[in-house]
Amino acid sequence: MTPSAAPSGPSAPGLDIPAVTVAPGSTATTTLTVRNDSDIVEAYSLEVVGDCAPWATVEPPRVSLYPGTSETVTIRLEPPRSPETRPGDTPLGVRVLPAEHPESVRVPETTVHVEEFHELHTELAPRRRRGWLRGRYRLAVRNRGNSPAQLDFTPGQPGEELRFTFSPAKPKLEPGESAEVRLRVRTGKPVWFGSPVVWPFTVDAAESGEQTEAQPDETAVRAPLNAEFVQIPVFPKWLLAVLAALLALLLAWFTLVRPAVQSAAKEAATKEVQARPTPGGTPGAESPGTGSGGGSGGDKGAKPGASPGATAGTGGGDGTTAGGGQQSSRTIDVKTSGGASNAGTYKVPKDQVFGITDIVVANFQGDEGVLTITFGDSKITTIALETFRNQDYHWVTPIKITENDTVTVNVTCAKPGTPATGRRAQACHEVLNVSGVLSPTKQ
Tell whether the model's pLDDT for residue 7 goes beyond 50.
no
- Rounded to whole angstroms, the Cα distance separating 118 from 81 reads 10
Q: With contact defined as beta carbons under 8 Å apart, do 43 and 101 qualify?
A: no
Tell me, what's the pLDDT at 13?
44
Tell whether the model's pLDDT for residue 111 goes beyond 50.
yes
- Rounded to whole angstroms, the Cα distance separating 170 from 168 reads 6
For residue 403, what is the DSSP state? T
Q: How confident is the model at residue 134 (pLDDT cuts 50, 70, 90)?
A: very high
Tell whether the model's pLDDT for residue 230 goes beyond 70.
yes
- Looking at residues 158-173, what average pLDDT do you find? 91
Counting every residue written for the chain, the total comes to 443
Query: Half-sphere exposure of 244 toward its Cβ, with a 13 Å CA cutoff?
Result: 6
Tell whether the model's pLDDT for residue 233 goes beyond 70.
yes
Tell me, what's the pLDDT at 284?
42
* Side-by-side strand order, sheet with 406-415: 341-347, 406-415, 368-375, 378-384
Tens digit of each residue's pLDDT (9 = 90 or more) over 234-281:
887 777 778 888 888 888 888 876 666 666 666 666 665 555 554 444
How confident is the prediction for the chain on average, in pLDDT?
82
What's the chain look like in SS3? CCCCCCCCCCCCECCCCCCEEECCCCCEEEEEEEEECCCCCEEEEEEEECCCHHHEEEECCEEEECCCCEEEEEEEECCCCCCCCCCEEEEEEEEEEECCCHHHCECCEEEEEECCCCCEEEEEECCEEEECCEEEEEEEEEECCCCCEEEEEEEECCCCCEEEEEECCCCEECCCCEEEEEEEEEECCCCCCCCCEEEEEEEEEEECCCCCCCCCCHHHCCCCEEEEEEECCCCCHHHHHHHHHHHHHHHHHHHHHHHHHHHHHHHHHHHHHHHCCCCCCCCCCCCCCCCCCCCCCCCCCCCCCCCCCCCCCCCCCCCECCCCCEEEEEEEEEEEECCCEEEEEEECCCCEEEEEEEEEEECCCCCEEEEEEEECCEEEEEEEHHHCCEEEEEEEEEEEECCCCEEEEEEEEEECCCCCCCCCCCEEEEEEEEEEEEEECCC
Question: Tell me: domain 120-231, CATH 2.60.40.2310, correct?
Answer: yes
Which amino acid is located at 117 in the chain? F
Tens digit of each residue's pLDDT (9 = 90 or more) over 8-60:
333 444 467 899 999 999 999 999 999 998 899 999 999 999 899 999 999 99
Per cent of the chain over pLDDT 90 is 60
Question: 65: burial class by Cβ within 10 Å (0-12, 13-18, 19+)?
Answer: buried
Please indicate whether residue 264 or residue 203 has the higher confidence score (pLDDT). 203
- Would you list the domain boundaries of the chain? 20-114, 120-231, 326-418+425-440
Phi, psi for 260 (deg, rounded to 5)? -65, -40
Tell whether the model's pLDDT for residue 434 goes beyond 70.
yes
Tell me, what's the pLDDT at 302?
36
For residue 253, what is the DSSP state? I
Tell me, what's the pLDDT at 248?
86
- Looking at residues 300-318, what average pLDDT do you find? 37
CATH of domain 20-114: 2.60.40.10
Whether 120-231 and 326-418+425-440 share one fold: the answer is: no
- Rounded to whole angstroms, the Cα distance separating 236 from 304 reads 60
Tell me, what's the pLDDT at 380?
92
Phi, psi for 7 (deg, rounded to 5)? -70, 160
Please indicate whether residue 64 or residue 294 has the higher confidence score (pLDDT). 64
What is the chain's alpha carbon radius of gyration, rounded to the nearest angstrom? 44
Give the range among 188-202, 311-325, 368-382 with minimum mean pLDDT.
311-325
Tens digit of each residue's pLDDT (9 = 90 or more) over 311-361:
333 334 455 665 668 899 999 999 999 899 999 999 999 889 999 999 999
- Rounded to whole angstroms, the Cα distance separating 328 from 435 reads 6
Tell whether the model's pLDDT for residue 428 goes beyond 60.
yes
Tell me, what's the pLDDT at 256?
78
Domain 326-418+425-440, second-level architecture: Sandwich (2.60)
Q: How confident is the model at residue 297 (pLDDT cuts 50, 70, 90)?
A: very low
From first CA to last CA, the distance across the chain in angstroms is: 107
- Looking at residues 167-196, what average pLDDT do you find? 92
Give the range among 90-104, 150-164, 299-313, 367-381 with minimum mean pLDDT.
299-313
- Looking at residues 130-159, what average pLDDT do you find? 92
Tell me, what's the pLDDT at 129?
93
Tell me, what's the pLDDT at 223?
80
Q: What angle do CA 38, 58, 145 make, to 5 degrees?
A: 145
- Looking at residues 125-148, what average pLDDT do you find? 93
